[in-house]
Amino acid sequence: MPKSVQTHRQNHIERQELLKKNKMAAGLVSERFPGVSEIVLHLTYYQRGPHPVLMVRTMNFSPTDYAYFHMDCMREECKNGGFDLTSVVTGLVKARKKTVKGKICCDGKSPSLAPNHASIAYEVSIQSAKPER
């Protein structure tokens, strides 16, 4: 196996392990947000350039999922970047609101990346379980 492939695979495994750890640390949706039945994230990824919309994705979180809302930056060379929606979700639950919209810019740094190389627009919706009678 060429060395570069091996290194790449090693990095990938390390990343997966780190992600697993972070998810475990975040805890489950049912633990972090009792009474919430579903969290939906609508995300639009933007990049700098002539075709700004990179992708659109919807993510659904149920009570048995990990309450991990950190999204990676799509630029491979971006280190310590990404978009953390944890405080957005937490704030929404605390405020007892149903939806919130906003925008986050990636603050990851690399010599080959512009400071505003990537951003996301988000819409977060929360469904609460009906109160038990």
Binding region for Zn ion (CB under 5 A): 73, 75, 78, 81, 106, 108, 118
Least CB distance to Zn ion at residue 1 (A):
29
Q: Which is nearer to Zn ion, 56 or 129 (CB)?
A: 56
CB 46 within 8 A of CB 55: no
Least CB distance to Zn ion at residue 133 (A):
48
Least CB distance to Zn ion at residue 22 (A):
17
> What are the respective helix, strand and coil percentages of the chain, to the nearest 5?
30, 35, 35
Q: Which is nearer to Zn ion, 39 or 71 (CB)?
A: 71
Amino acid letter, residue 106:
C
Q: In which region does residue 89 sit, left (phi positive, over 0), alpha (psi from -120 to 50) or beta (all else)?
A: alpha
Q: Which is nearer to Zn ion, 32 or 75 (CB)?
A: 75
